[in-house]
Structure 1
Amino acid sequence: MSHWQMGTEPDSKGNRDLTIDIQTDDSVGTLKGTVTFQDRPYSVTGHWAAEGSVPGRNYSCLAMCGPDHDPAPEMLTLSGTLVGKGYAPDSIQANVTRTDSKTGLQYGYGGKLLPM
């Protein structure tokens, strides 16, 4: 089991656009925890694949998704490529898509996550 606490660079007030607080099961590549995007938490689950764990897997990557806690939820997906060891990444280049079930609007975001 690994624990990833990572986020984008803080702004001048110390706020971050995107953070993750994720527990991994390294033996099977599952993820679960919280992604906070623009101050809204989402409960997520997902998977990651470690570079070098099978022939031809040259990069570590991840994907996770889940809702916020609103009865008419926003859904969030996050996928990305890890740099460094999977149990303690140096960074994650992340892409986020958020979809709102109230308005039908979608929003995309990309950023680099660093250890916090």
Structure 2
Amino acid sequence: MLCITACSSKSNVEKPGVLNNIYSSLQKLEENDPNKVKKDTYEMVIGQIKKINVRGGKRSLLIEDEKGKTYLFNINKNTIIMTFEKLKIGQNVDIIFNGILTRSIPPQGTALIVNGLKV
């Protein structure tokens, strides 16, 4: 059995305030959502390279910060980095990313900038 439900524009015209209230409520929910990621929010992880991965043209760095927490950062064509081949295991780096990490273990993100520091 096929059911079709439709809304006519006539009901919206009769009660224009209802739609405005719905849109206002949605906007307030979005503004107060703690999970919403704001634009132009960047974060930095300072740590040491523990592993350099290259598989099928994809590159990533396993980083351990000073608290011992590990992160996996993917490197793509837009990542600003010194020559990837010059990075070494044990080297200290600053990784700047957009603040978004997966909830996996280790957390994964995409590096925007990799700043290699002297060992």
Question: TM-score normalized by structure 2?
Answer: 0.32
Higher fraction of strand = 1
Higher fraction of helix = 2
Question: TM-score normalized by structure 1?
Answer: 0.32
